[in-house]
Structure 1
Amino acid sequence: DEVAVSGVWERRDERTIRNELGREFACSENIDIQIGKVLNRLEQMGELDNTYIVYTSDHGMAIGRHGLQGKQNLYEHTWRVPFIIQGPDIPKGKRAIGNLYLLDLLPTLVDLAKIDRPETLEGQSLQPVIRGEQDLLRDVLYGVYCGGTKPGMRSVKKGDWKLIKYDALDGKVRETQLFNLAANPLEYLPEHKRESELETDLAENPAYAEKRQELEALLLSEMQRLDDPYRLWDQPQETSVNP
């Protein structure tokens, strides 16, 4: 998918990557300028302190990280999104891990606006995190990419640990990765040749076999809970549902 998807650069040379990073920084600068215009206008209207403002986005692009250019992956640099919220009664300068999905935004806004919550909402309100009553909205995060050949990629994250599994190209690519994000936040791989034992993929390290087994079970549990129609090559197939 890295080269099959329209708009993804095939080249990986340093000049190309630097150019793409420059475009990313320019885009971020322009967004900052436009947000400033909105905030200035709200201030002129006397409504700045009476308005809830949310800054977030779609997920990102790899731009050279892990040798990738596009967004067809589940590494942290692509999976995560920014999320900033301010407004009446929201403490300023506070930061929380949150563990939220963007589908949590609507129930949060409904709560902030004191509107009755529709029964069809699937997300959770961030109010407890915003008020500082708790650091996490949920313990587990589940990630999916299946835009190419199926099943594609699946990921699960709990605490400092993250598992990514690949089942693509009609079975030609079948791989499991295990990362400790506290020690390896950039998800370095063996080819990065880091000195720390934890700054690498730990999936095949016998010392972390129990942790891998724990996350493998957690991943399958999330796939079942969320009615994922696919199963990966090394998961029980009898639970599979036809897509």
Structure 2
Amino acid sequence: MFQHSSRGTAVWLIIVGLALALTLIAGEIPAAAAALLLAAYLALAYVVTRRVEVGSIIESLPRPPARQAQATEVAREASGRASNHPRFDPLVHLLDIGLIVDEQRPDGLSLRRGRFISLDDDGVRPFAIVDVPEGIGDRMARIRFEIRDEDGKPRYVYEDDKWLRAGENALLPDYRLPISGNESQLGAGMWIMRVQVDGGMLGIHNFNLSPSLSERRRQLSPDGELRERVWRSEEEDVALPLSLEELLRQQSQQHRAR
């Protein structure tokens, strides 16, 4: 920038200075504005005469912090529950959490996300999306998912070492909790799912496991109404994040290739 000769630069500065002086002498602008224009001219003259690169000045200015990814409402609720846990980890931010109801079919993998799980479903697997700060990213970490029934009994545990890069990471186990065929061993009710990184609790997610359709029909009263109301979450049928969709498809392809 400013690749002109020294003589040309001096002439340019003189012309601009004369124009500014005539403007100030005319007295048609307020004193505050005149002082601001004079200061700007002197600063410009210093930059030009010293051959300071404007780009380097801009780069030296403080930059606003990068915008942090926003957590979903479900993730905020799960983080709030986890904050009361003695091993809560406030450094790794939970962006999303939930369950994926998946079913292997000849034409591929059928997926849906929901808090309303039925004993008729084929199987479920937990997931979480976390944001890792720069200072503790780019490392191997121990990931743990737990699913517990209404009595607190562990029904699903997944542990594995995963590479966590700085920024957003999708955490997804490569196997699921089978439901269909295990109805006699799984009790309906309010279940919980937990996710941990290196022993630090990130989120505690509540979900409902409802009776099978045959059981609900058996529970129907003579007037056709259920004796107990079956809770259904608005979260059901919400689209999965694209990162999880891609990860699930990759796992499905690898499973079929074996």
Larger Rg: 2
The TM-score bracket by the shorter chain reads under 0.3
Structure with higher strand content = 2
